[in-house]
Structure 1
Amino acid sequence: MTSLLRQITDYSNRANPYPLYTELRKTPVAHDEGGPYVISTYHDILSLLHDPRISSDARNRTASVADELQQPDQEQETTLPPGFLKLDPPEHDRMRRMTNRPFGPPHSPQRIESMRPELGEIVSGLIDSFANGGRIDLVEQFSYPFPVTVICRLLGVPREDEPRFHTWADTLAASLDPAPDEDHSERDRIAKEARTQLGMYLAGLIEERRKSPRDDMLSALVTGGGPDGAMTTMEVLSTAALLLIAGHETTVNLITNGMLTLLRHPDVLQRLRHEPRLAVPIVEELLRYEPPVQLLPQRTPIADIEVRGVTIPKGSSLWLVLASGNRDPQRFEDPDRFDPDRKDIQHLGLGSGIHSCFGAPLARLETQLALSELARRLDSPRLVEDPPPYRQNAVLRGPRHLNIEFDGVRA
């Protein structure tokens, strides 16, 4: 089993880990002495995501770090308090309530939907910048810049400062995806410097918004107004960093995985070109079929729990392989087939339970708009290479580059 886990995290299998997941599901609770407990079937994963005995707080883990993925985490070590994704109730619930108040229902039901026209303008502007025919790298020229621009607008970063935000986001993204021969100490130094600069910038912006609030999410976070009060400056900083890193990275992968899948299924791409509403079910099927987050490697039981007759001890390391659960034939019919007409797509692509993806409404809308406009406006798009080169990161799985040739750009 250790060999199989190593194969799953081995870069050589990044382009197609799904046959390995099929093998993994034959042992629904996989464990090798000294390693993590790995859960790979849909119903077991769903149950554990809703189990209050499963902690997201690393302080509850007593297992050796040797069993963890040997790659950077989504949130690098900083002097900031942990984002609420890595907290348990009641701290998690308080922080999530405070963050959600200016973000979505019931208090701000129109926050995301009201951004639709602006998101459309950003998408159109990026596509307009493509040469009228030729080749693009979708990741560099579209999938990366789009979500970080959206996060800037959501938080209320001034337009003139957006290029600085893009630079910091690019640097931090690179730190999550190191090359095997890269100097890790130099990478960490550059990433630390970027985090420091980002933190100093956000701290200054927070103080500005505290004195002169505007109609943006950062202002709402610092002024509060709900029963939980306002966040501290440090809490606002950690939440803003979480929105930037976690929200940006997953959306980049979802858009890129989505376009790759559509180019591999030209009949669906053609349908989307003429039926823009098809973008909604397409995105849901993509979240099942090619999820941007493949597995959750940092969960810990706070008590001994039993799964399928196997006792998982308190404090051990637990991996929940979401992408494997999404391809579980015990849950989905013909799971390896991409089918946007699938009637039952209760996927695990955005997690579930109290830690389900906070930014899901925004990620969905961004990806729907992105894919529908790319399908409508690119004339005869085609892959330059398949499979494309993938990122090193086994958790946040997606192409590092996606080179596409096309004959022109429609108005």
Structure 2
Amino acid sequence: MTPNTLLRRITDYANRADPYPLYAELRESGVVRQDDGAYLVGTYPEIAALLHDPRISSDLRNRTAPDESPLRPDGLPPAFIGLDDPEHDRLRRITMRPFGPPHSPGRIDALRDDIARISEELIDAFQDKDRIDLVDDFAYPLPVTVICRLLGVPHEDVPRVRAWTNAIITGIDLTPGHDPEQRRRAAQEARTAMAVYLGELAEERRGRPSADMLSALVNDEGPEGGLSHAELMATAVLLLIAGHETTVNLITNGMLTFLRHPGVLERLRAEPALMPRAVEELLRYEPPVHFLPQRSPLVDIEVAGVTVPRGAPLILVLASGNRDPQRFDAPDRFDPLREDNQHFGFGGGVHNCFGAPLARLETQIALNALLRRLDDSRLLDDPPPYRRSPVLRGPRHLLIERIAT
């Protein structure tokens, strides 16, 4: 196999359960041009530099061959994750006002009790089961319930949210052998439907403010002004999807990793105060986002001796950088007490994950609750079946069996 087929092999579903040998091959090969014209980068120093390089664009419209992404359907502007400064900075600052410091410093911490209560209720519901699917029974319903409450989405609409989200995530599935145009159309339709729905919910709150984020976004006129209706719809879709999809993977990857390392599991069960550090190691060792496929240079740039031309697709393989031996000692070892753990689990630079504080809090609470209450359990399938997406990588199901004592 040649290096210019690495992207095809990484995105091949047959390698979803263990892409790490391919990432090692990528690091050995340097910056690699693929047969479709994209450039792959998998080494820690180069990824870190590119995440902070203002010459790198996140706006797909700056591609030499502009990409009609499923994340930008007709009639809606890109969300701020797909924009460059100054527009990215303006939209992100407006959105941050009701979400976190300095204007709403207690927003996330105020959710702590709710997250703990929802976690306990979900575990209560499967206490009498011998077999549990940790995805469907816990890892999905927890973060989607939290983000819907935070935004102000009624609980009875959560099934619609899940259907739309599944279609949108399928739209960025790079797996070979599937019809990309069909996925793109379905993703565009789902995102448009979700955007209209969230926009209507927000408009119902205009002039009648409540405690949720949609209300704040539609009523709060800060120093930068407010969001246009189209910007509000695009932002709300981003917050809803990003606010639970990555956390589902982080919780599920976490339990899978703990069950594969019983000594670590027992120590964390005995010392729950270690969980914050364990979650940071999970973000390095089994991150919920494996690569960023939306970058391109605004000018010709040199990366590790390779010239990447202006507008070429530039794919930063974050999960490969997280296992780079140039940066981490014994990178393939899961070490919940690892020091100096500057991982790419939430990206980096100006596009560092907006919802990282919420994802950390949810995962720490969720995993501690599971370890405390799910003793004497074992995996039924290892490796488990994985989701289709190579970008947002995690098990589709994680079946465990309660061992009778």
TM-score calculated relative to the size of structure 1: 0.91
Report the count of equivalent residues.
Answer: 403
1:36 aligns with 2:28: no
Q: Secondary structure at the match of 1:239?
A: helix
1:270-309 Cα deviation digits (max 9, x unpaired) = 1222222221011100000011111111101001111222
Is the contact between residue 73 and residue 191 of structure 2 (CA under 8 Å) also seen in structure 1?
Answer: no
Q: 1:394 aligns to what?
A: 390
Q: 1:251 to 1:31 in 2, by over 3 A?
A: same
Q: 1:305 to 1:193 in 2, by over 3 A?
A: closer
Q: After the TM superposition, which residues 249-328 of structure 1 pair with which residues of structure 2 at under 5 Å, given as runs?
A: 249-328=245-324
Distance 2:69 2:138 in 1: 24
Q: 1:25 aligns to what?
A: 27
Is the contact between residue 36 and residue 319 of structure 1 (CA under 8 Å) also seen in structure 2?
Answer: yes
Structure 1 position 73, deviation (Å): 6.4
**What amino acid sits opposite 1:75 in the alignment?**
L
Distance 1:318 1:122 in 2: 40
Is the contact between residue 75 and residue 245 of structure 1 (CA under 8 Å) also seen in structure 2?
Answer: no
Distance 1:377 1:408 in 2: 14
Q: 1:115 aligns to what?
A: 111
Structure 1 position 13, deviation (Å): 1.1
The one of 186, 189, 199 aligned to 1:203: 199
Q: 1:379 aligns to what?
A: 375
1:13-62 Cα deviation digits (max 9, x unpaired) = 11111111111111221124652111111011000000000000001101
Q: 1:125 aligns to what?
A: 121
Is the contact between residue 259 and residue 371 of structure 1 (CA under 8 Å) also seen in structure 2?
Answer: yes
Q: 1:50 aligns to what?
A: 52
List alignment gaps of at least 5 residues for structure 2: none
Is the contact between residue 74 and residue 245 of structure 1 (CA under 8 Å) also seen in structure 2?
Answer: no
Q: After the TM superposition, which residues 12-411 of structure 1 pair with which residues of structure 2 at under 5 Å, given as runs?
A: 12-32=14-34, 34-63=36-65, 75=71, 77-170=73-166, 172-173=168-169, 191=187, 194-407=190-403
Structure 1 position 211, deviation (Å): 2.2
Q: Is 37-46 or 151-160 further displaced after alignment?
A: 151-160
Structure 1 position 167, deviation (Å): 4.6
Q: Secondary structure at the match of 2:132?
A: strand
1:300-347 Cα deviation digits (max 9, x unpaired) = 100111122221111111011101100000100000000001011100
Is the contact between residue 60 and residue 300 of structure 1 (CA under 8 Å) also seen in structure 2?
Answer: yes
Structure 1 position 162, deviation (Å): 4.1
Q: Secondary structure at the match of 2:243?
A: helix
Structure 1 position 173, deviation (Å): 4.7
Q: 1:4 to 1:160 in 2, by over 3 A?
A: closer
Distance 1:128 1:135 in 2: 14
**What amino acid sits opposite 1:93 in the alignment?**
D
Distance 1:336 1:362 in 2: 27
**What amino acid sits opposite 1:315 in the alignment?**
G
**What amino acid sits opposite 1:371 in the alignment?**
L
Q: 1:195 to 1:300 in 2, by over 3 A?
A: closer
Q: 1:18 to 1:161 in 2, by over 3 A?
A: closer
Identity value in percent: 62
Q: 1:69 aligns to what?
A: none
Distance 1:309 1:192 in 2: 38
Q: 1:29 to 1:166 in 2, by over 3 A?
A: closer
Q: Is 24-33 or 168-177 further displaced after alignment?
A: 168-177
Distance 1:175 1:311 in 2: 30
Distance 1:47 1:389 in 2: 34
**What amino acid sits opposite 2:58 in the alignment?**
S
Structure 1 position 157, deviation (Å): 2.1
TM-score calculated relative to the size of structure 2: 0.93
**What amino acid sits opposite 2:287 in the alignment?**
P
Q: 1:68 aligns to what?
A: none
Q: 1:186 to 1:62 in 2, by over 3 A?
A: closer
Structure 1 position 179, deviation (Å): 9.2
Structure 1 position 165, deviation (Å): 3.4
Distance 1:305 1:187 in 2: 32
**What amino acid sits opposite 1:118 in the alignment?**
D
Alignment RMSD: 2.4
**What amino acid sits opposite 1:51 in the alignment?**
D
Q: Secondary structure at the match of 1:52?
A: coil
Is the contact between residue 378 and residue 403 of structure 2 (CA under 8 Å) also seen in structure 1?
Answer: no
Structure 1 position 247, deviation (Å): 2.5
Q: Is 269-278 or 293-302 further displaced after alignment?
A: 269-278
